Structure 1
Amino acid sequence: MERDARIDQLRQALADFRPGSLFDHEAEEAKAAVRKRALLFLDARARSRHELRGRLLDLEFEEAVVDDVLDDLAGVGLLDDAAFAHEWVRQRHARRGKSSRVLDRELQDKGVDSATRADALEQIDAADEEATARALAEKKARSVRTVPADRAESDKALRRIVGVLARRGFAQGMSLRIARDALDERVAQLS
């Protein structure tokens, strides 16, 4: 009985079939143009879905076609927000010395959801963050060439070191403590 029902369904599907109905040439041509541009963007660097969608819509592609292409790219693994966020955090922390707070804001600007951001930021712990801040402070402290002559010069050097850390989003208290340590070490080296 069940077999007969399946055979009837197949007969009906064959009767309803129209040549060319399985492949929509117009839709595929529209998707091809969007796909080509999307792959060029992804070839330059990895991007979040939100970021890539925005770039494609800025080029005035149809929203539905863009969404279809993004779904296709995600389906084959070329568009993955979790992998993007993880790599973004790893590279920007290691190479640029960015704090987790700044990296979180950057990922948020790129449209990455909060759970994915939190997962990616787990790779940075407090010790890593402090070590990065310390390395940046020591590098900036090396630009001090002579022992500060008075309190004003010392404060100026300290502000410059703290500024480097602040621009990368490190916490104020930690930045001030590390900057003082780095400046004290540099002054001891110069003395």
Structure 2
Amino acid sequence: MPDEEPDGRGRRRRAGKTGRRASRRGDADGGAPEGGGLFGGGDDAGGRSKRRGSSSEEHSSDPEARARGICLRLLTLAPRTRAQLAEALRKKEIPEEVAERVLERYSEVGLIDDQAFAAAWVSSRHHGRGLARRALAQELRHRGVEEETVKEAVEQLDPDEEVETARRLVARKLRSTSGADPRVRTRKLVGMLARKGYSAGLAFRIVKEALEAEGEETEGAEGGYLDSL
């Protein structure tokens, strides 16, 4: 039973109740979200402290201090590419030469590392979303990663692993298409894989294998899919 203590008017109250309420308020107001993940918004006391420091720098009259504050705040929230940070500084009207100096310094000390970003992005998005190399490369290019770095990152994904991921995606979706015409099922399943960056040839082969394993007749299904493109 929780300890009790007098409240000064003859009644007794539970000790620590206020503390528990304050703790709950703290969780609601400043607690870190669950499941922040590599590219999520997870945070800790150190991150909040860095943000407070970067926030004061963002309002500095010194452009270089402002640039540092902007970069630190964004990097605390989630990993960023150099191009993303450069764009953020441009929008804040940081002079180009100042932005370049800050970005170069942060690259030198490892706060900006597009190679590490790209490698982590490929691993996270493939295992989390089932994306194939083509889709992953497109996402990295969209974030300003240089082509050579993109190529190196997506090549770390083993082709056999990519095929197995495609099979798992189809197996997960298969039941929701049961009862439909084979051509309709093929179109839906191949389309799902195509949206995740798998080639049409690989996607159709995986879908055909899955449907035939169910005893589904797939003769002519490929033509039906190709006709819908």
Task: Bin the TM-score by the shorter chain.
Answer: 0.7 to 0.9
Equivalent residue, structure 2, for 1:38: 71
Distance in 1 separating the partners of 2:107 and 2:177: 50
Equivalent residue, structure 2, for 1:167: 195
Equivalent residue, structure 1, for 2:204: 176
Q: Structure 1: where are the runs of 5+ without partners? A: 1-26
- Highest Rg: 1 or 2? 1
Between the aligned residues of both structures, percent identity stands at 37
Say what the alpha-carbon RMSD is for the aligned residues. Answer: 1.9
What are the residue-to-residue correspondences of 1:133-172 with 2, within 5 Å?
133-146=166-179, 148=180, 153-172=181-200
1:115 aligns with 2:151: no
For residue 123 of structure 1, what is the amino acid of its counterpart? Q
Residue by residue over 1:47-101, the C-alpha shift from the partner in whole angstroms, topping out at 9 and shown as x without a partner, is 1111211122122221111111111211211001111111111111111111111
Q: Is the 8 A contact 1:56 1:66 kept in 2?
A: yes
Equivalent residue, structure 2, for 1:73: 106
Identify the structure with bigger relative contact order (alpha carbons < 8 Å, sequence gap 6+). 1
Distance in 1 separating the partners of 2:203 and 2:83: 33
Distance in 2 separating the partners of 1:114 and 1:33: 30
Corresponding residue SS for 2:160: helix
Distance in 2 separating the partners of 1:145 and 1:160: 11
Q: 1:58 aligns with which of 91, 113, 118?
A: 91
**Moved runs in structure 1, 4+ residues, more than 6 A?**
none
Distance in 2 separating the partners of 1:39 and 1:30: 14
The two structures have a TM-score, normalised by structure 2, of: 0.64
- Shift in Å, 1:125: 1.7
The two structures have a TM-score, normalised by structure 1, of: 0.75
Q: How many residues align?
A: 157
